[in-house]
Amino acid sequence: MTGAVLEALASHWRRNRLQLLTLVLGLALATALWSGVQAINAEARASYDAAAATLAEGRFHQLMPREGDSMPQALFVALRRAGWLVSPVVEGRLRVGGTAVRLVGVDPLTAPPSSAASEALARTDLNRFLRAETLVAGPEMAALLEANMPNPVLVDQAVAPGSVLADIGVVQKLLGRAGRISRLIVLPEQPLRQQPLADIAPDLVLQRADGATDVGRLTDSFHLNLTAFGFLSFAVGIFIVHGAIGLAFEQRRGVIRTLRALGVPLRRLVVLMIAELVVLATLAGALGIALGYLIAALLLPDVAATIRGLYGADVAGTLQIRPAWWLSGIAMALGGALLAAASALWRLARMPVVAGAGGRAWALGSGRTRTLQAAAAVVLLAAAGVLAVTGGGLAAGFALLACLLLGAALALPPCLAAILRLGEAQAVRAMAQWFWADTRQQLPGLGLALMALLLAMAANVGVSTMVSSFRLTFVGFLDQRLSAELYVDADAVADRAALERFLEAHADAVLPIMSVEATLAGLPAEIFGVRVGYTYRENWRFLDAIPAVWDEIEAGRAVVINEQLSRRAALHVGHTLALGPGLSLPVAGVVGDYGNPIGQAIVGEALFRQTFPAIEPSRYGVRTGNPQGLRRALTEAFDVPPARIIDQAAIKAFSLSVFERTFSVTDALNVLTLAVAAFAILMSLLTLAAMRLPQMAPVWAMGTTQRRLAGLEILRTVLLAAITAVLALPLGLALAWVLLAIVNVEAFGWRLPMYLFPVEYIRLMLFALAAALLAALWPAWRLSRMEPTGLLRIFANER
């Protein structure tokens, strides 16, 4: 019996190849969407981590000799043995062709990933690097080296100007410092058990990392948002799979009835259909993963190359088909297919064997289901509203997202029906009236595809808004926080006064940066002292401030606080903040701060020095028109290691270029989701085409040409897509708002400002319409070319 039933089930696909193709392709595309977005997300993550790492160059702790400028290499071995994950660095100066060159020797095998050195190293051939005594340098320096040194030279932009990177052994040889190292980098991840430093190397001191420019928090937020969109694309996929399977099952209703009437037990039938589905889903899932990989690989060659460059072969593997990828992709296809099939199977199981009237009734079409759906939509949207007003916590934020999206999707068919009914009421001519009514009749069949389009459009509007808002905020934040061209570590120079004199003489402006940890309004925080000047006045953007904010700060009469402190302590402009015993100042401004987890209060330099006389500046921001020249001058004058002079402009430019690449990747995400939604429409139209013949045949018989009917079909699809796209706009904006203003605040304590991009939305909408148009073309063409017998058969078989 099983054989005969399987054959009957399979014969359906053999006779309806197009339908099989659409089902498998639909499933495959949904899977591809999921794995593609995952890949894009992973790439974005990697890119952002790289950018963040470059910005946070000084983030590693280091071990320095207590006295002198070097230590024996044996200490490195001893520390590694004692469980310390450290990497040695030797630094020194060498005169090459009359120019002082700073040589930096690193150990490529232990250097921390995502440091500037390992970035550059990863781009070079490790074997050559180790054996051939290769030197790596920026273009300018490389020319000098090639002219004066026997060693092979590699050019790499990431190496700081004036520096040369090489293997530690090579540098030791060149500097004549065999067996000596300058410092040890402490890797971020250390084993839990390790001997205390004082026991192994009492002559070393631990220098803590300086986390002042850590933008990790900002990028964390971006990751969170991208992850949310990953799930959204999953939801779009589920809708599509649901639609595809629902339609396929619907079409076989009659066959299922016949099989049962002929004595095939229900349970056997359900089991066989599930088996059939598992086979199809596995096939489609595999295809989808391959497709997702292909899409990601095609769209991301740039990013892939960057990642390989930044991280070496290991991380370039993100774009390899890994087991996790396979598994999540197949699980998505199988889970999605079974989830989607569950309701269809349940309906089949409950369907009476003998066909009553209305055997064609769509699952979504029956009045009761429709009412239930509308009710569910109202409840979900109401819940979303309540959560938006009263909800607190990250979980509530995500619950709000889920309610909003599901509610909106369920509300779509009733909304469309209402709009179409309006059109019907306005229609005068018979043909127009038929058009509106017939379009409304199509809704149940097209509902799921349109929901997918709604979600895809909303996701795209949301993703564009979020990404572009993020970009504006990020660029603004970088401009504000990294406005000085150079940052010099104050500890790098013994004679601080001499350094200050030198800087005052050579720079356009010097901005000493002083900070002290404090408890403000009962919360852990930092107080910063700043020298108010044109840099602050021109670059800082406040969320809220009094007009003369910098004058007040300079005069020591007010304080500026960051958004985190403002939100957590409910402090706003005009409120008074107690900075310490006997010192309370009014808040003159609140500033967005996206790189910092804790609260900050900023006061003028004079007030800071007076209140905290013991605190010296930790760094100096330097404004100059010639950062390279000043950098060289500083190095010459004070023997400052290049790592202690941070060229923020170069870092900023590099980070922005990495960000730009990721932004272009999100464009790909938009194209992908809309393409898949368009495919869902195509699939539904093709599947519906045969069922729609009975509705069209009479209109044709009464004197409408097939071409005209086909034209109306196209118009119908584009009309439905247009209404859906218009409805998706507010949904997408709501989505972006929830992510930026609720989820982000809950997760990170600050709100990402939301900007609107109307041109972008119009572009997206046109794209969605074009996609719908494309989807409608083929079915319409088939209709216009159909043999009259196909239409006539409708009358012959009418019963």
User: Which residues contribute to the site for other proteins (CB under 8 A)?
Assistant: 1, 3-5, 7-8, 11-12, 14-16, 254-255, 257-268, 352-354, 793, 799
Would you call 621 helix, strand, or coil by DSSP?
A: strand
> Across 2-46, where does the E strand assignment appear?
none
The two structure tokens encoding residue 127: 């074997």
How is residue 564 annotated by DSSP?
Answer: H
| Residue 95 dihedral angles phi and psi, to the nearest 5° | -90, 120
Q: Closest CB to other proteins among 257 and 506? A: 257
Q: Closest CB to other proteins among 543 and 794? A: 794
The two structure tokens encoding residue 112: 């921390």
Q: How far is the CB of 366 from other proteins (least distance, A)?
A: 15
* 50 neighbors 205 (Cβ within 8 angstroms): no
Closest CA to 486 of 659, 600, 643, 591: 643
Q: Counting every residue, how long is the chain? A: 799
How is residue 58 annotated by DSSP?
Answer: G
Give the strand pairing for 135-137 and 153-155. parallel
Q: Closest CB to other proteins among 259 and 304? A: 259
The one-letter amino acid at 234: F
C-alpha angle with apex 213: 211 to 216, nearest 5 degrees?
85
Q: Closest CB to other proteins among 333 and 697? A: 697
How is residue 751 annotated by DSSP?
Answer: -
Q: How far is the CB of 360 from other proteins (least distance, A)?
A: 13
Q: How far is the CB of 265 from other proteins (least distance, A)?
A: 4
Q: Closest CB to other proteins among 95 and 267? A: 267
Number of C-alpha atoms within 13 angstroms, CB side, residue 623? 14
Q: How far is the CB of 441 from other proteins (least distance, A)?
A: 23
Closest CA to 657 of 200, 91, 27, 51: 51
The one-letter amino acid at 314: D
Q: Closest CB to other proteins among 6 and 74? A: 6
Closest CA to 63 of 216, 204, 230: 204
Q: How far is the CB of 734 from other proteins (least distance, A)?
A: 42
Q: Closest CB to other proteins among 346 and 534? A: 346
Q: Closest CB to other proteins among 15 and 95? A: 15
Distance CA 147, CA 467 (A): 46
Report the C-alpha dihedral over residues 229, 730, 244, 688, rounded to 10 degrees.
Answer: -160
Q: How far is the CB of 266 from other proteins (least distance, A)?
A: 5
* 102 neighbors 93 (Cβ within 8 angstroms): yes
Q: How far is the CB of 349 from other proteins (least distance, A)?
A: 10
Q: How far is the CB of 367 from other proteins (least distance, A)?
A: 14
Q: Closest CB to other proteins among 20 and 722? A: 20
Q: How far is the CB of 260 from other proteins (least distance, A)?
A: 7
Q: Closest CB to other proteins among 1 and 430? A: 1
Q: Which residues contact 432 (CB under 8 A, 6 or more apart)?
A: none
Q: How far is the CB of 259 from other proteins (least distance, A)?
A: 8
Q: How far is the CB of 799 from other proteins (least distance, A)?
A: 6
Q: Closest CB to other proteins among 179 and 263? A: 263
Distance CA 73, CA 71 (A): 6
Q: How far is the CB of 267 from other proteins (least distance, A)?
A: 6
Give one DSSP letter per residue of 150-166, joined into a string.
Answer: SS-EEE-TTSPTTEEEE
Question: For tokens 């209703």, what's the residue?
Answer: 253
C-alpha angle with apex 384: 379 to 389, nearest 5 degrees?
125
C-alpha angle with apex 415: 409 to 420, nearest 5 degrees?
135
Give one DSSP letter per residue of 241-305, joined into a string.
Answer: HHHHHHHHHHHTHHHHHHHHHTT--HHHHHHHHHHHHHHHHHHHHHHHHHHHHHHHHHH-HHHHH
Q: How far is the CB of 689 from other proteins (least distance, A)?
A: 15
Q: Closest CB to other proteins among 260 and 751? A: 260
Q: Closest CB to other proteins among 73 and 258? A: 258
Q: How far is the CB of 8 from other proteins (least distance, A)?
A: 5
Q: Quote the distance between the C-alpha of residue 359 and its chain's center.
A: 46
Q: Closest CB to other proteins among 74 and 255? A: 255
Q: Closest CB to other proteins among 19 and 662? A: 19
The two structure tokens encoding residue 59: 């983030």
| Residue 113 dihedral angles phi and psi, to the nearest 5° | -65, 160
Q: How far is the CB of 339 from other proteins (least distance, A)?
A: 25
* 473 neighbors 592 (Cβ within 8 angstroms): yes
Q: How far is the CB of 772 from other proteins (least distance, A)?
A: 31
Q: Closest CB to other proteins among 205 and 279? A: 279
Distance CA 610, CA 580 (A): 13
The one-letter amino acid at 382: A
* 771 neighbors 678 (Cβ within 8 angstroms): yes
Distance CA 441, CA 432 (A): 14
Q: How far is the CB of 342 from other proteins (least distance, A)?
A: 19
Burial call 180-217: b when 16+ CB within 10 Å, e when fewer? bbbbbbbbeeeeeeeeebeebbeebeeeeebebbbbbb
Q: Closest CB to other proteins among 689 and 771? A: 689
